[in-house]
Structure 1
Amino acid sequence: MRVALIVVSVALLLLAVLWGYQRQLIYLPDTTAVSASAGAQDVVLETSDGVKLGAWLLRPRGPDRGVAVLVANGNGGNRAGRAPLAQALAAEGLTVLLFDYRGYGGNEGSPSEQGLARDVRAAQRYLVESGVPPERTVYFGESLGAAVVTELTTSVAPGGLVLRSPFVDLASVGQVHYPFLPVGLLLRDKFPLAEQLAGVKAPVAVVYGSEDSVVPPEQSREVADAAPTLKDLVEIPGADHNDAALVHGPEVIAAVVRLAEQL
């Protein structure tokens, strides 16, 4: 009996620690402040709760398609790591807004599901105030960012939605990596991507790597199945989650361009 009580007590203590520190496991920010990369303009976004966010605006190089791409990052690093993506999109005649969430890239605040929802709305509002209407905007979400832009789409419909390495929901991908834990019961941040996508009417493209070790490829395919208006499903053979081919490779860029050409 005493041994059983000790085991139960240790398990409860572990669960309590995981409950309290779960966001440190979910969000992995590079907090280093960054300056604009080549061809980018530093801009500042302000959220509805008063948080100021650093961002970069890249103007199109070459013929302007009159379409903007709002990029929502994944859970790690900061916007500097997405500069090659933004530059490649700008080279295709697209305006690109690249921003960091609260707690990332020198920004104040701490990330959470609700906080990221406020952050992406500040980015979308900036584009509107700059003269780009939602119907001429493509939302691009990378991994966790795919859930962020899908949630945004439920309230502000874009011209199109590109989801790179999307998961069904955070619990589903968490259970893959922590099969011994009741992830669904512990999570405070849910990110129910597939459920929210089911109500999205904008055209959708899904891009994923066949060897993704972070988000299982079958989850990305399940997300594609949930999209009522799926226009493009692109598998990049041999690509893992953070491989260059999946982060900013030509097949990723082409998927965005194909969707932009339909607007």
Structure 2
Amino acid sequence: MLTESSIVGSCLLFLFALYVACPFLFYYCKRIRNAGMFANRLNIPHPWFYNLKDPSSFGVENAHNESLVLDVGEINIWSITTNVPRFKDDKRTVVLYSHGNSCNRAMSHRVGLYQKLSAMGVDIVTFDYRGFGDSTGVMPDENTTVHDADVMLQWVQDQFPDHNIVVWGHSLGTGITVKLLSSFDKYPDRLIGLILESPFLNSGEAGRHIPIAKIFDLLPCTKGVIARALEGLFPTDKLISKITLPILIIHAEDDRILPIHHARSLFGVCENENMKNVTLKVFDEGGHKFLYTNNDAMDAASDFIYEL
């Protein structure tokens, strides 16, 4: 006969087994690992309830949606035109924005950044990798997200033939953009710079700081499993020296998702490689997602774009 104590004991044993099993499933199962690395199922605002093809419904003005059909699936894009264009060398500037690992192009903190960039005088192109938002065709992984960023850079070159181009990556988007641009033998003439907002040194190091990893690190048998599972993905520290474009790194001291040591260590790598084209700007406040609310950070981005 089951007693209350035996039921409680069985439940605790089950929870302990699940606790131990989860990080090892993450380590050995690529599908589960990708689902954690590319949290595209955390799809907010969800396209079932919101029309992602209507940027005005999210407070984004002077914007329209484009759908780019690929061999497999499609990428959905917002193209945003500023009301107050600012010129550099008689050209307008367009920022190609590569977002982080969850939600979609309509997420509120991203919309806030578009609005600040638009007020800065630049046009913006933002998109969802296939598998994110209402972009379709694949389950995202390292290769598909970098490929989609590559396709989008070519699209921007074609659609904005008279613009200077700046690539802006945030969080996971920094790993994607660095991996893409490090593979170029020659950059397009109008590609003038790269901004890395809240970057990470590499995925393994990033995996040491995500909240769920810290939970699993409490036991010796599961300590470090999440970080080891992510090693080798997006090795920004090994690739960044291949980029010869001017680079601005911006990061907040109070970032709890990717602590500030990521930016400082990445900048240290650049210094060791004698890269003269990299600038690091650190700000007291802004967290991981809200640097756009920090006027000093936006001023640094504006100075970088228009002084290149």
| TM-score past 0.5 threshold | yes
* Secondary structure, aligned partner of 2:120: coil
Q: For the residues of structure 2 that align with 1:79 and 1:162, how far apart are their CA atoms?
A: 18
Q: Letter of the aligned partner of 1:209 in structure 2?
A: A
Aligned to 1:125: 154
* TM-score, structure 2 normalization: 0.74
* Secondary structure, aligned partner of 2:303: helix
Deviation string, structure 1 residues 94-133 (Cα, Å, up to 9, x no partner):
1110111111112212111101011101210111111347
Q: Letter of the aligned partner of 2:80 in structure 1?
A: L
* Secondary structure, aligned partner of 2:140: coil
* TM-score, structure 1 normalization: 0.85
Q: Letter of the aligned partner of 1:191 in structure 2?
A: F
In the TM superposition, residue 17 of structure 1 has moved relative to its aligned partner by 4.9
In the TM superposition, residue 46 of structure 1 has moved relative to its aligned partner by 3.8
Aligned to 2:76: 54
In the TM superposition, residue 224 of structure 1 has moved relative to its aligned partner by 2.0
- The reply to whether residue 145 of structure 1 matches residue 154 of structure 2 is no
Deviation string, structure 1 residues 178-216 (Cα, Å, up to 9, x no partner):
241334542387011121111211111111110111111
Q: Letter of the aligned partner of 1:67 in structure 2?
A: T
* Secondary structure, aligned partner of 2:106: helix
For 1:41-190, list aligned pairs within 5 A: 41-47=64-70, 49-65=71-87, 66-81=92-107, 82-108=110-136, 109-132=138-161, 136-156=164-184, 157=187, 158-177=191-210, 178=213, 179=217, 180-183=223-226, 185-187=228-230, 190=233
Q: For the residues of structure 2 that align with 1:190 and 1:50, how far apart are their CA atoms?
A: 23
Q: Letter of the aligned partner of 1:42 in structure 2?
A: N
Deviation string, structure 1 residues 147-193 (Cα, Å, up to 9, x no partner):
11111212343311110111110111102342413345423870111
Aligned to 1:28: 39
- Matched-pair contact (CA < 8 Å) for 2:204–2:231: no
Q: For the residues of structure 1 that align with 2:226 and 2:79, how far apart are their CA atoms?
A: 37
Q: Percent of pairs identical after alignment?
A: 21
Q: Letter of the aligned partner of 1:89 in structure 2?
A: L
- Matched-pair contact (CA < 8 Å) for 1:232–1:255: no
Q: Letter of the aligned partner of 1:142 in structure 2?
A: H
Q: For the residues of structure 2 that align with 1:52 and 1:215, how far apart are their CA atoms?
A: 30
Among 246, 250, 256, the residue aligned to 2:295: 250
Q: For the residues of structure 1 that align with 2:96 and 2:65, how far apart are their CA atoms?
A: 15
Q: For the residues of structure 2 that align with 1:188 and 1:168, how far apart are their CA atoms?
A: 11
With over 3 angstroms needed to count, the CA separation of the structure-2 counterparts of 1:229 and 1:56, relative to structure 1, is farther
In the TM superposition, residue 222 of structure 1 has moved relative to its aligned partner by 1.2
* Secondary structure, aligned partner of 1:53: strand
Q: For the residues of structure 1 that align with 2:183 and 2:162, how far apart are their CA atoms?
A: 14
In the TM superposition, residue 12 of structure 1 has moved relative to its aligned partner by 7.2
Q: Letter of the aligned partner of 2:67 in structure 1?
A: V
Q: For the residues of structure 1 that align with 2:62 and 2:230, how far apart are their CA atoms?
A: 40
Q: Letter of the aligned partner of 1:103 in structure 2?
A: G
* Secondary structure, aligned partner of 1:107: coil
Unaligned ranges ≥5, structure 1: 1-6
* Secondary structure, aligned partner of 1:79: coil
With over 3 angstroms needed to count, the CA separation of the structure-2 counterparts of 1:220 and 1:46, relative to structure 1, is farther
Deviation string, structure 1 residues 67-110 (Cα, Å, up to 9, x no partner):
11110001122111212211221222211101111111122121
* Secondary structure, aligned partner of 1:241: coil
